[in-house]
Amino acid sequence: MKPRFISDIHLSENNSHLTNAFKRFLNESKESCSHLFILGDLFEAWIGDDNNNAYHQEIKELLIEFTKNGPETFFIHGNRDFLIGQDFAKEVGISLLPDPYTIDINGLKVILSHGDFLCTDDLDYINFRGLVRSKDWQKDFLSKDLNERKLIASTMRNDSRQATSQKSLEITDVNLKSVDSFLEEHNPNIFIHGHTHRPKIHHHDAIKRVVLGDWGSSGWYLSIIDNDLDLKEFKI
């Protein structure tokens, strides 16, 4: 297995440079990896699989072309696209995974996650996450018409940006005690996540924790080749 891992691309029709970078990345990855894992926040926002606008159709076509004869592709929900459903997944040929998800990669126990559940110092966010990840909330939200969902989502994003701007870097990062407790319970060889936008390979005794980077002026991906971790930054 020659997997690649990405997260936090935050695709939107307002950021064409990210769309173009994602297109180039898929074209290059098609010949360079056997599996692609997208660990959340592929999109800046997702308000339902029925929001099939021209931009979403463009991204669907990119993924369909990539998965048709290319690497197996998997997706874990992020905090911005947790409403991606089976309709979207089936259409573009990806498999949805639970968060966290354990996989064997070349004999190594690897745990994959978006990572936001470990930001336990940010109590407001953890409470919000619990609300919007509940089946009742999602059922109620998806029952609303598309225009109302767009308005609600826009308000939520604005509120989130304002709240985050007033929080310290420590609060919005993972809580290390929560990380250590999680790693002690599950004991992987490698733990890979995104969300915090602070790319780095950390060492927790014998366990390696890889934080994927967000895409902006640069893009990031992790590859595992011969059990070696290669966290790469590339210019967009």
Q: How confident is the model at residue 202 (pLDDT cuts 50, 70, 90)?
A: very high
pLDDT, tens only, 46-83: 999 999 999 999 999 999 999 998 899 999 999 999 99
CA angle 167, 152, 164 (to 5 degrees): 5
Rounded distance between C-alpha atoms, residue 231 and residue 223, angstroms: 7
**Cβ(170)–Cβ(121) under 8 Å?**
yes
Strands of 9-71 (E only): list them: 35-38
Question: How would you list the strands of the sheet with 35-38, edge to edge?
Answer: 95-97, 72-76, 35-38, 3-6, 218-225, 228-235
With left for phi above 0 and alpha for psi between -120 and 50, is residue 227 left, alpha or beta?
A: left
**pTM: predicted TM-score of the whole model, two decimal places:** 0.96
At 11, phi and psi to the nearest 5?
-65, 140
Residue 162 above 90 pLDDT? no
pLDDT, tens only, 80-122: 999 999 999 999 999 999 999 999 999 999 999 999 999 999 9
pLDDT, tens only, 14-24: 999 999 999 99
Of 3.40.50.2300, 3.40.640.10, 3.90.1260.10, 3.60.21.10, the CATH number of 3-235 is: 3.60.21.10
Q: Which residue has the higher pLDDT, 5 or 69?
A: 5
- CA proximity to 192, closest of 211, 178, 173, 175: 211
Q: Which two tokens stand for residue 159?
A: 């509120």
Mean pLDDT of all residues in 217-221: 97
